[in-house]
Structure 1
Amino acid sequence: MESVSEGEPAVRRRPKDRKAQIARASADAFGSQGYHAVSMEDIAARVGITPAALYRHSPSKYDLFRDAVLGLGQLLVDATAFADDRDDDDPAATLRMLTAALADATIANRTAGGLYRWEARYLRSEDRVLLAEQLRVVNHRLQRPLLQLRPKLTSSQRWTLSSAALSVIGSITDHSNQLAAGEIRLVLISMAADVLAAELPASRRRTAPRPEPINVGPEAGMYEHVLYESVRLFYENGYRNTSMEDIASAVGIQASGLYRSFPGKADILALAYRRAADRHSSDTADALSRNSDPEEALDDVVDEYLGRVMEWPDLPYVYYTERHNVPEADLRVLETIESSTMDAWARLVTAARPEMKIGAARYAVGAAFALTVDFRRLFARDSGPESVATIRRLMEVTLLGRPVKRRR
């Protein structure tokens, strides 16, 4: 055996798993910081190599980003591939195995798992097509046994339920509530099963009108107009691709006038977040003050929350996608408000559903919120009253395992 002479430097060999290390570091970086905030230097530092060495593995940040997003999509495809080879004489077992496999894959990649949900808009068109195909494959695998179990479901209903199940499972990437991995797995599988078994509201010719989206103009005053136009631009273009000049132009003022009132766009983003968090907290407190029965209170808080989402549908998406751009001091306050409000919802869930522990209830609440954030993806072709009734039913089933018992 050759030995290294004393004083002779040891030869450093590239680890065999360097490619996997880079892929993991890229996914974690993009997942936690967002595409635009991450640099090649950031990823290289996470791996423990120089930027020059990283460039030898990948020619650009975009290539790493694309590989990270499509790699996560492929994980879901691979995790569910077994279903293609099963003789479906037991579709219920196949469906359970599929949701368990998806839950396991998501738990194992929780830090980066939200990447395909929140940052995929930055993919180039050809890569978005590839991601859409990956998700189509996973949805079809869920829908095959679902169709055997529920043959009367329409194609649209099957897509709604399979997409909602994926939303519920993926919701753990939206928050950092702590729970043992085994307990997370059980609650995700249970919620996905409840959603897939949900009886969707029957279509009616006459449905209750949904709240109309707000349209804030200059007559509301500059403050409200700036918040509204900023969120719209952040939703359409992304925070990083929106400048103070863009916001000023949308509001109809000079950029210098905007800077006199707001130091920067991060401050505007923080104000929009604080507005949303405070309203959610206040609506929850109001509903609790009106109702002593926990299920009636939960009925009210869901109504209030959905009403806010429908009034300003851009805001929930921006709220989840751009939070890493909120200044740290503002983010700490927001997290306090969010945690308090989620706990209030979770206590209502455990009061109405005593068999559920508070930790699991927090995950159910996070899953219910995720359904509303994914509303436009779930109902891209129809955002009318029937779709609102459907999302409401899915929220109820996620929270309680069944629809809310309506008051007479």
Structure 2
Amino acid sequence: MESVSDGEPAVRRRPKDRKAQIARASADAFGSQGYHAVSMEDIAARVGITPAALYRHSSSKYDLFRDAVLGLGQMLVDATAFADDLDDDPAGTLRALTSALVDTTIGCRTAGGLYRWEARYLKDPDRAVLVDQLKVVNRRLQIRLAQLRPKLTSSQQRTLLTATLSVIGSITDHSNPLATGEIRLCLNTMATDLLAAELPTTRRRTGVRREAVSPGAEAGMYEHVLYESVRLFYEHGYRNTSMEDIASAVGIQTSGLYRSFPGKADILALAYRRAADRHSSDTADALSRTSDPEVALDELIDDYIGRVMESPDLPYVYYTERHNVPEADLRVLETIEHSTMDAWARLVTAARPELKVGAARYAVAAAFSLTVDFGRLFNRDADPESVATIRRLMEVTLLGRPVKRRR
């Protein structure tokens, strides 16, 4: 214990910002590890206090989680509150709103994915609060967009705003290096392009239409297990799904499942590897067929949307449960992902020479993210016009405009 000049022991006082320290540590822990993987001991260690001291601040992990998620939602509300007093310049206000959301997201990048991916663990009353917070932010944006583009339907306005928010939030899903100023410029540019995008109003080519697949026992146990596992992970979460649940869904004994798969984490890793390998293979195939970067991107967009439509549950699980993948498998997975993203980014920079490869990677990650977000919205009910809308949004995100049409 420290001593003062008269020899008496100093009294160690609690830091005045201890509550804020706990809030930041909780948000970062839940954001990087997911709700179920975090313990009170983990949060206490991040703050540098004992678990007992943490319990004096909060009675449960859930309370810290709720406060972290709703705290992020309130940050978005507060960051856009200035718009309520501005009515004379809708274009300037809309730019300022998106810029404020970009800055807020950059400032809480580690924890920012909480409200995107982990909010499913909120209790109903708390989830309702988050929904209300996001409605406030959306309303502020939609008012200005409607003033600027009065011919858009309400549905089209919501589509463009959803895409814009998805692109801004996409930086919470990856850690590609880029200077803060460049991240800000990249996100603001994509947001501006999306808010000005013309959405398809008639049916047009959407590539090869792929229906959602549902392999049963006739496909073999391996395919059946992967499909049912991903479905259960999507519906109930990885932590709330057991090997017994998977075996029951497949229609076999749990002991039989263990004879083929060492554990639940191994099944998850196999599903991830399958998705990454298919994406990598699709990319290689498209590049082997053409040297025109825009034509290649045109084909890749079709392939990517097709994969999402084919296995609509997998992309969501891919984004939300990766912290449960074993470390060795995750390293291999990241190698495949980085290689595939670099291939897409090189195509983007070839089509847009003014864009640096680092910014191109952010555009690629944003295009993937908005496709997954819209896939969740449409679920298994995406009609050709919805698919055409997703395609247009990907095109604009990657290139600022639609790509060349194939002949």
Opposite residue 231 of structure 1, the aligned amino acid is: V
Paired position in structure 1 for 2:264:
265
Q: Which residues of 2 match residues 367-382 of structure 1 at below 5 A? A: 367-379=366-378
For residue 210 of structure 1, report the CA deviation from its aligned partner: 3.4
1:281-292 superposed matches below 5 A: 281-292=280-291
1:71 corresponds to 2:71: yes
Q: In structure 1, what is the Cα distance between the partners aligned to 2:205 and 2:47?
A: 58
Give the aligned partner of residue 244 of structure 2.
245
Equivalent residue runs for 1:265-344 within 5 Å: 265-344=264-343
Q: CA deviation at 1:382?
A: 5.3
* Range with greater deviation from structure 2 (113-122 or 381-390): 381-390
- Aligned residue for 1:374, secondary structure, equals helix
Contact 1:34 1:119 (C-alpha < 8 Å) held by counterparts: yes
Report how far residue 203 of structure 1 moved. 3.6
Structure 1 runs of 4+ off > 6 angstroms?
Answer: 205-209
Deviation at 1:91, TM superposition (A): 1.1
Measure, in 1, the Cα distance between the counterparts of 2:132 and 2:4: 52
Contact 2:32–2:111 (Cα < 8 Å) also in 1: yes
The residue identity in structure 2 corresponding to 1:213 is: A
Q: Distance in 2 between matches of 1:283 and 1:208?
A: 14
The answer to whether the Cα contact below 8 Å between 2:206 and 2:384 also exists between their aligned partners in 1 is: yes
TM-score (norm 2): 0.97
**Residues 372-405 of structure 1, C-alpha deviations (whole Å, 9 max, x = no match):** 1101454469522211110110000000000112
What displacement does 1:6 show?
Answer: 5.6
Deviations along 1:256-309, whole A, 9 cap, x unmatched?
Answer: 000001010000000000000000000000000011100000001111111000
Change (3 A) 1:157 1:379: farther
CA distance in 1, matches of 2:6, 2:272: 61
**Alignment match, 2:199:** 200
CA 1:23–1:388 in 2, change beyond 3 Å: closer, same or farther? same
- In structure 2, the residue matched to 1:394 is 393
Q: 1:207 to 1:394 in 2, by over 3 A?
A: closer
Whether the aligned pair in 2 keeps the contact of 1:208 and 1:385 (CA below 8 Å) is no
Three-state SS of the structure 2 residue aligned to 1:119 is helix
Residue-by-residue CA offset, 1:285-334 (whole Å, 9 max, x unaligned):
00000111000000011111110000000000000100000000000000
Verify the 8 A CA contact 1:294 1:351 in the aligned structure 2.
Answer: yes
2:200 corresponds to which letter in structure 1?
Answer: P
Matches within 5 A, 1:96-111: 96-111=95-110
Deviations 1:327-359 (A, max 9, x none): 000000000000000000000000011111100
Structure-1-length-normalised TM-score: 0.97
- Superposed CA deviations along residues 167-206 of structure 1, whole A, max 9, x for unmatched, are 0000000111000000000000000111111100014499
Counterpart code for 1:123? L
Matched, 1:351 2:380: no
Structure 1 unmatched ranges of 5 or more: none
- The Cα of 1:140 is off from its aligned counterpart by 1.0
Contact 1:209/1:385 (CA < 8 Å) preserved in 2? no
In the superposition, relative to structure 1, how do residues 389 and 333 fare at CA in structure 2: closer, same or farther (>3 Å)?
Answer: same
Q: CA RMSD in A?
A: 1.5
Percent identity between the aligned chains?
A: 84
Matching residue of 1:38: 38
- Contact persistence 1:210–1:384 (CA under 8 A): no
Alignment correspondent of 2:12: 12
Amino acid at match of 1:391: I
Q: Compute the displacement of 1:208 (Å).
A: 7.4
Which residue in the other structure is 2:360 paired with? 361
Aligned length: 405
* Cα separation, partners in 2 of 1:209 and 1:359, compared to 1, 3 Å: closer
Indicate the SS of the match to 2:72.
helix
Q: Which amino acid aligns with 2:350?
A: A
Matched position secondary structure for 2:291: coil
- Residue identity matched to 2:149: R
Q: Distance in 1 between matches of 2:53 and 2:294?
A: 58
* Cα separation, 2, equivalents of 1:25 and 1:80: 24
Q: Is the 8 A contact 2:193 2:397 kept in 1?
A: yes
Q: What does the per-residue CA deviation read over 1:142-167, in whole Å, with 9 as the maximum and x for residues that have no partner?
A: 11111111001111111111111000
Uncovered stretches (5+) of structure 2, i.e. residues with no partner: none
Instruction: Assess if the C-alpha contact under 8 Å between 1:210 and 1:388 holds in 2.
Output: no
> What do residues 77-136 of structure 1 show as CA deviations (whole Å, max 9, x unaligned)?
11111001112x221111110111000000000000001101000001111111111111
